[in-house]
Structure 1
Amino acid sequence: MAPNSLAAELVALGVALTAAVTLGAVWDSATGRRRFAYRGMILILCVAGAAGTGLIWLNRQVDAVPSWASLTVSGTPAAADPAAVPQRRRENGGHIETFTVAGPASGLTLTMYAYLPAVYQPGDGRRYPVIEALHGYPASPLQWLNGLDAITLLDEEIEAGRMAPTIVLFPYQTPKPSLDTECTNMAGGPQTETFLTADVPAFARATLPVRDDPGSWGLIGYSAGGFCASSLLLRHPGQYTAAASLSGYADPGIAVGDGSEHTTYDLTWRLRNLPVPAVSLYLACAKTDRTAMRAATDLSGLAKAPMTVTTAFVETGGHNAQTWSASARPAFGWLSARLARPVP
């Protein structure tokens, strides 16, 4: 029974309801000090059950904790429950494969899922462009696959010809669900930027039929992953040629540990103070999402040649899965139009 399962939520709800009924039944059944002890214990069960129900419900929305092992000190996303990974949505569609990436450059070992398009055939010699899809916080790649139904989205866009057959990678961005790395190299902490920009591409080149020539790799992300996509694009223009940020921000919003959150990890600072790379950036959000709108306005205003920026806003919505789902489809198509095509 995984912590992001309906069964876990129902068990927590059952504990809360049972404790509430029991509390009413025994409220005046005991006398003396035992009465207060009974009331206190059952009240604690009520609160714990209610809190557990709420937390598990939230986890079911964002898939931040896919296994109980990932809650332990030693637990990592490598312990993700295989049953939580969606399978092929249709008989002739693409499918997901699961990998464990042991990163020699970063020292991180994390789970990564890969979408392989329907036309993929092992050993046929064809090589595909690549998109790294980055998740928010708190969340995991499973929100892309479950909540945002990325398999169906990619299948439909490729089948309709709006997107070339592409391998899409869904890596974890943190070794612990409670730690928000914002895809940075944290001082004294996880080197997530190195993992995503060095270890993941090296693993993909060695394991999957990916293109590795200029213009073949892109990025997409929502919320914190949106910041990640923009940040990694600007910091590694030799690896990535385009990125799409869905409700992303202009700075990491965390303490990296060396003050770089105010300089090189601040995207507006980079565009004001460092050479602008020849890359393409897609910024999408809801107009009611004030922080994301401000970031999109600031970044598009600061961008200059050879960098290009495309903006796309939805009138209503907020910082939520509905907005990201609506924005992801055109964003994937925009990315594909700027990436190299599959080659024999």
Structure 2
Amino acid sequence: MGLTSNTVLVLAIVAGVLLFAATVWLWPRLAGRTWRAVTGRVGLLLATQLALFSAVGLAANKSFLFYGSWADLFGQQTGMGKVVDHSMSSRDVKVVDKQQLDVPGGDRPAVGGQILKVAISGQKSKIDSPGYVYLPPEYFQPQYEDKNFPASIVLTGYPGTAENLIKGLNYPMTAFKQAKAGKMKPMILVMLRPTVAPPRDTECVDIPGGPQTETFFAQDLPQAIKDTFRVGDKAQNMGFIGNSTGGYCALKMAVHYPQTFGAGAGLSAYYEAPSDATTGDLFHGDNKLKKRADILHSLKNKQPSGTSFLVTSSEQGEGNLGDTKKFIQSVKGPDRVSSIILDSGGHNFNTWRREIPPMLEWMSGRIQA
């Protein structure tokens, strides 16, 4: 039974209910002060709380897909997978599996497109990361065989998994439906999590003496995409999208690398790298590096280059509203900024699912083949 299966969740809930009932039923019998009575009460309370916490944790994980399997939960998911497709692989991108969209005729790539599970190797950063690539149906159609496509890198939040973007946030299906309805151009989506050195949260920073995460996302990954798929080599051909931590990374990359990314969209993004137990010491006393990781500071000193930005927040429920308004006010022409400000919405999947369709439509209008 998998970590995200309904069966495991139901068993945990049933166990919690039964243990709670047993505690209520047996409590009078364990009311004495003998060691057996005390041990019995402690045992019942611990078992009941463990079952309840397990049920809550499993429900949260099923909703947000922090971990995809038991092996992932216990840190045993280390293998990169077996390469099964050589025709679409390159030096830096190895295709290890394929899946189709659940649409009529989706078993044919020219009808439903295709999702590739890939292993990506960074030549400069020396970072390897798993991910997924969504190729739209047009990519496989004869009339487009000599055509390039726009591409966007899409990042989850921390400590999410790349599967969140497929199962939880529905990026491929949303892009498929939006393109089919004529609301956006067919677009390649390269989906990863920002955690390239798990379990550490590196915040897309080149850490002195540590993981060179910024180099991976800003240089290695775009080059790997261009070398493997039919994507142009200009900034107008590539965007960067993310939610939460991924949104911070998306905006930061678009600010610092306008020659690579023509547009950046940050859903519920924050604007300065945190410093906590998950990040460790990101800057090692380097104040210049710390300022570089401050998006609002960097934006004020950015040479305008025609980059497009999209930021999102909510009047109620999001903590980034104030900084989002500061970001909007700091953008100087010919750079452009757009926003989605909901009346209410928390820092969660439901909010982002409301923002993704218009965001993709916006992105399609900012980058091109």
How many residue pairs match? The answer is: 336
Q: Any idea what the Cα deviations from partners look like across 1:90-123, whole Å, max 9, x if unmatched?
A: 1232331111113232232221111110112189
For 2:244, the equivalent position in structure 1 comes to 223
In structure 2, list runs of 5 or more residues that go unmatched.
Answer: 82-97, 106-110, 276-280
Structure-2 change in CA distance of 1:289 and 1:261 (3 Å): farther
Deviation at 1:302, TM superposition (A): 1.2
- AA aligned opposite 1:292: N
For 1:305, the equivalent position in structure 2 comes to 333
Partner SS state of residue 319, structure 1: coil
Deviation at 1:277, TM superposition (A): 3.9
Q: Which has the higher contact order (CA 8 A, sep 6+)?
A: 1
Structure-2 change in CA distance of 1:25 and 1:187 (3 Å): farther
Q: Any idea what the Cα deviations from partners look like across 1:133-167, whole Å, max 9, x if unmatched?
A: 11112422222212222222111111122211111
Q: Superposed, which structure 2 residues align to 1:251-266 within 5 Å? A: 251-254=272-275, 256-258=282-284, 259=287, 262-266=290-294
Partner residue of 1:294 out of 319, 322, 335: 322
For 1:103, the equivalent position in structure 2 comes to 122
Identity %: 26
Q: Any idea what the Cα deviations from partners look like across 1:246-271, whole Å, max 9, x if unmatched?
A: 12122122352335674111011112
For 2:50, the equivalent position in structure 1 comes to 48
8 Å Cα contact 2:283-2:290 kept in structure 1: no
Deviates further, 222-231 or 314-323? 314-323
Structure-2 change in CA distance of 1:321 and 1:86 (3 Å): farther
Structure-2 change in CA distance of 1:17 and 1:319 (3 Å): same
Q: TM-score, normalised by structure 1?
A: 0.87
In structure 1, list runs of 5 or more residues that go unmatched.
Answer: 80-84
How far apart, in 1, do the equivalents of 2:199 and 2:235 lie? 36
Deviates further, 110-119 or 188-197? 188-197
8 Å Cα contact 1:260-1:266 kept in structure 2: no
Structure-2 change in CA distance of 1:94 and 1:122 (3 Å): closer
Q: Superposed, which structure 2 residues align to 1:227-242 within 5 Å? A: 227-242=248-263
- AA aligned opposite 2:151: V
Deviation at 1:340, TM superposition (A): 1.8
Deviation at 1:73, TM superposition (A): 4.5
Q: Any idea what the Cα deviations from partners look like across 1:43-98, whole Å, max 9, x if unmatched?
A: 2221111111111111112111112222335545958xxxxx97412123233111
For 2:6, the equivalent position in structure 1 comes to 6
Runs of 4+ in 1 over 6 A off after TM superposition: none
How far apart, in 2, do the equivalents of 1:208 and 1:308 lie? 28
Structure-2 change in CA distance of 1:2 and 1:224 (3 Å): same
Deviation at 1:317, TM superposition (A): 2.2
Residue 324 (str. 1) matches residue 324 (str. 2): no
8 Å Cα contact 2:136-2:188 kept in structure 1: yes
For 2:367, the equivalent position in structure 1 comes to 339
Deviates further, 115-124 or 60-69? 115-124
8 Å Cα contact 2:193-2:246 kept in structure 1: no
Structure-2 change in CA distance of 1:277 and 1:8 (3 Å): farther
How far apart, in 1, do the equivalents of 2:79 and 2:60 lie? 18
Q: Superposed, which structure 2 residues align to 1:155-194 within 5 Å? A: 155-175=176-196, 178-194=199-215
For 1:130, the equivalent position in structure 2 comes to 151
Structure-2 change in CA distance of 1:61 and 1:197 (3 Å): same
- AA aligned opposite 1:314: L
Partner SS state of residue 140, structure 2: coil
- AA aligned opposite 1:106: S
8 Å Cα contact 2:235-2:258 kept in structure 1: no
For 1:273, the equivalent position in structure 2 comes to 301
Q: TM-score, normalised by structure 2?
A: 0.82
